[in-house]
Amino acid sequence: MNITRRAGLAGLALPFLAPSARAAGTLNLVLESEVVILDPHSTTAAITRTFATHVFDTLYAMDGQGLIKPQMVEAHETSADGLVWNFRLRDGLKFHDGAPVTSADVVASLERWAPRDSLGRMLWAAKAELVATDPRSFRLTLSRPFPLVLDVLGKPNAPLPVILPARLAAVPVEQRIREIIGSGPFRFRAADWRPGNVMVLERFADYVPRAEPADFLAGGKRVHLDSINLRVMPDQATGASALIAGEVDYMQYLPFDLLPRIERARGVRMQGLGGIHQFQGNFRINHAAAPMDDPAVRRVLWRCVDQASILTAIGVPPQFRAPPCPSFFLCDAPLSSAGGAAQAAFDPAEARRMLAASSYRGQPLAFLTTSGGISQTAAQVMIQSMQQAGFNVTEQVMDWGTLLARRARREGWHIFAVYANGTDMFSPLTNFYVSNTCADYPGWDCDRDIQRLLTEFALATDGANRRRIAAEIQTAAVAHVPSVMWGQFTIPAGYRERVRDLPRAAYPMFWEARL
């Protein structure tokens, strides 16, 4: 799916930002939420990743085809046995405080980041040594071959392996950095940050883009704007009204119930993408809480989830949704697999039969939801299906922060609804619910066969073997049930027609954009 739609009908102007007050060369944006956590190593929050892709830089980056390309790195060499990797940084890299980026900064940053990331930990388990060999060069020595070195250093998933000044990388990640100094194409203007209102990122004049064209997170990120203002809105309806009125230039996620109005709005366009740029919804299951510790009970959930009905209830228009998808690694994606699909199809009668034949004896189940929005609607449709199958399940509504605190406990909950970017879910090594098996991760599932296959996938040296192993992981995951998917869909972005050359991607990006 690759959709750009026009839209017409002036909306109600809002008083907080008159169009005449907008500075020339400045975009006013409404993103998915306010940026609260600024430390890019300390969280998996998508909004922090969006902030980080503009303010910081990475050694490698993913292009629009899913390939990993050099970003801060000029060149690298690998020994014949694959154990020694020598890297050289591009010339002219600077931090926002004017200091040059050095290999010492790289070493310190990666040492801070890797223990916090599932892929980073996998690479670090194979690492023997990481050292700076001169101001622009560093060497990674492995104790055993690890073919995915570049994939890890260029992964698009939060927490991103961004490079900080060594003095900031020395701050323990549990404490979070307080001074935001990156080397990316935009600079954070701390003096103009107004939490709850606006954050300003200005063009970093000393940023040296790569020579090749920008391509998703890779390539030459050329900034043509003076600044971007990240506006905080009280709700989606207010943001959509501001977009229609011309008081903001871009809104990351348009509310589905307002799409007809936005389509008619004069001077507004919508953008939606397919494949890995879509979202995947999941119901995460707590394997530590009985009766969900019984795989026979968990497998009943596959027969309860009606993806088509859930997406209809949410209000996703047909052009922004995928057909029902059984793949943990997304449909219309490089590692799509239908393994186990026959056991994962919606079938209410089979759900009742399977549940009656299982160990379940009517124990109450706690289904956590957040008030309002997509996830709660998905959960409510699922709860109805589970009740019809014979589950004694009730909805427990709370805010997202409370849900995060509850899910961190092994007891007191059984299932919750969530959705994530496809770029986070399309690989076995980054899919939250597959990659974290046998780890200290909320849900606490453990399948040793999947764990073994993940290692095999990481060590595979060609695409055909990776696809084969991914299909085996898919089949094993359907039987293990770390989660069940509730749909694959796009939440379209909206932007004013005056904005030109806006990159087409799952993540908000504002290099290359022009007015």
User: φ, ψ for residue 233 (rounded to 5)?
Assistant: -115, 150
pLDDT in tens, 313-348: 999 999 999 999 999 999 999 999 999 999 999 999
Peptide bond into 135 cis (omega under 30): no
- pLDDT above 60 for 13: no
The terminus-to-terminus CA distance of the chain in angstroms comes to 26
Cα 237 to its chain centre, rounded Å, is 24
> What is the reported pLDDT for 44?
84
Give the whole-angstrom CA distance, residue 440 versus residue 376.
26
Read off the DSSP letter of residue 514.
B
Residue 371's pLDDT band, with cuts at 50, 70 and 90, is confident
pLDDT at 3 (0 to 100): 43
Q: What is the pLDDT of residue 404?
A: 85
Question: How far are the Cα atoms of 76, 83, 149, 456 from residue 460, in angstroms, in the given order?
Answer: 21, 15, 12, 6
**Left if phi > 0, otherwise alpha if psi is -120 to 50, otherwise beta: which for 403?**
alpha
- Reduced 3-state DSSP string for 462-512: CHHHHHHHHHHHHHHHHHHCCEEEEEEECCCEEEECCCECCCCCCCCCCCC
4 has pLDDT over 70: no
Pick 43 or 201 by higher pLDDT. Answer: 201
Local confidence band at 388 (pLDDT 50, 70, 90 cut-offs): very high
Express each pLDDT in 139-193 by its tens digit: 999 999 999 999 999 999 899 999 999 999 999 988 999 999 999 999 999 999 9
Banded model confidence at residue 24, pLDDT cuts 50, 70, 90: low
> Which of the four pLDDT bands, split at 50, 70 and 90, describes residue 97?
very high
- Name the H helices within 87-218: 103-113, 118-126, 149-153, 166-169
- % of the chain with per-residue pLDDT over 70: 95
CA 390/CA 400 separation, integer angstroms: 28
Residue 22 predicted with pLDDT over 90: no
Average pLDDT, the chain: 92
Over residues 363-369, the mean pLDDT reads 97
Could you tell me if 57 and 70 are in contact, meaning their C-beta atoms sit under 8 angstroms apart? no
The C-alpha torsion from 432 through 434 and 440 to 443, rounded to 10°, is 80
Q: How far is CA 62 from CA 7, 53, 275, in A?
A: 32, 12, 15
Q: What is the pLDDT of residue 118?
A: 84
